[in-house]
A and B are shown apart, each in its own frame.
Chain A
């Protein structure tokens, strides 16, 4: 018997070659990193832009050179645009987005949770929300102007309406995905309805809510340019639309770049919040 249990000592002094590391064959993307490819693609697009503009393949009016756009950033920074400095334009847009997002989140989360929990709330609120939310914001923009005038109110309202639906719907989805064991466990530990809501339902729905907020902010940036069509004198969206009328393509490029940077920063911020608030997402 004893010869059967003989094994090679693990710590042998013999220098063994480094073992070949293997992994289960994955399907689809798996864990392969994509950042380098994305960065390379970005650089390639920039190089293509530079090449096309430099060789005058497209009239300069349609496609300004990268250098011109950079110069324009400096000029806009020092001189402003249409009577307001660049930072005032950026601030005006950020103010609208942040205010509208706050209102949409403050209303969308409780209403969405309520719709996920209560038959009456679901029945009543479903009608207006399901009716309006598939509409493109531009289609009801004229109504906003007629009803609310051309001031900040109509712009903020348009943005709130666009951002409310995804937050509200995701909060509902969050309640629906709540496992019944979790509710039953809390009940058998003596949770009262309010505690059930605050300690179980709300945190359970948080991952979905945060996904909804991220989608909402994306839609918000998309709607911003439309909102700033309404008799604005400030805002990045206004700057883009106004510059387009004067065929100042380089200013349009700068505006698009600023929106892209802002939107990316917002998205990154929400991802950071997700990482802090719901590190357990998808793990249990």
Chain B
């Protein structure tokens, strides 16, 4: 093997402030020529042979033996030592504070992680931007305002949960891996809606103080589960329906492709949130009150958000097919509002949260006038 040339090799370390002591082990190795090999006796469960399924070797395929056991309480060492490895003493703690499984776990976390990895897409490659055609001014302005809103709100679902991600015990790595994919998804959503706003003769529209308030409340949630209720159950559930509406109202195949792909991503996030809350509420029913409190406030802000022109009118214009059909667009929006509320409450049911008696979202869109 040829020797690698390292530039200015003689200068390396000439001003170093730390002097390394020679390794006792390496000295012994060089002197005796006999390897230690003690580490070979310090394995986790040995003889494990995970078999790939028809879709390759997935996380569920390596959930075997002791490696498949997710502890109720995360490792007391609070380090990143891999679950199932031999734990040595004096591991420095990383100070994880979410150490109970119920605080972050969802049974579908590994499944959703693998699915997310398999279904990644590229806004540059997979959106047929070249097919974008000029739209009537009112439709382009409405689409750009909608894209502005989505560009503004989407990345909260990366920023907010990843604050907690770094506090999660490493024994729940499947959840961390899923949240990492969610962060990647949200980066792509922010990217694709920004690109869409700038790609067809329009531009970004008006930012929203109410949206920002909503984001701040998500950011400041007092616990991961409380944040999940606010973010995944209501916020992302709402945006999921918005993406579905987006696909429906898309004035072009380009827009339809964008919304459909985002919809697929978003439904994974909602799926994780629903399952996490199901696990958490089953283990700790008292948490329900904390989540209810969050949702009380989040529903109120959502109603307020739907009380300003830049939130209501772009959707009505897009649904109606232009300002000339504004009334028709409002009527359609009214019909779809019921679906938003219906699906949100269904997800609460699925999570094991009896939200119906406390929900302040009216099922009739026209009552928003009174509720706001």
A, B: real partners: no
B interface residue numbers (CB < 8 A to A): none
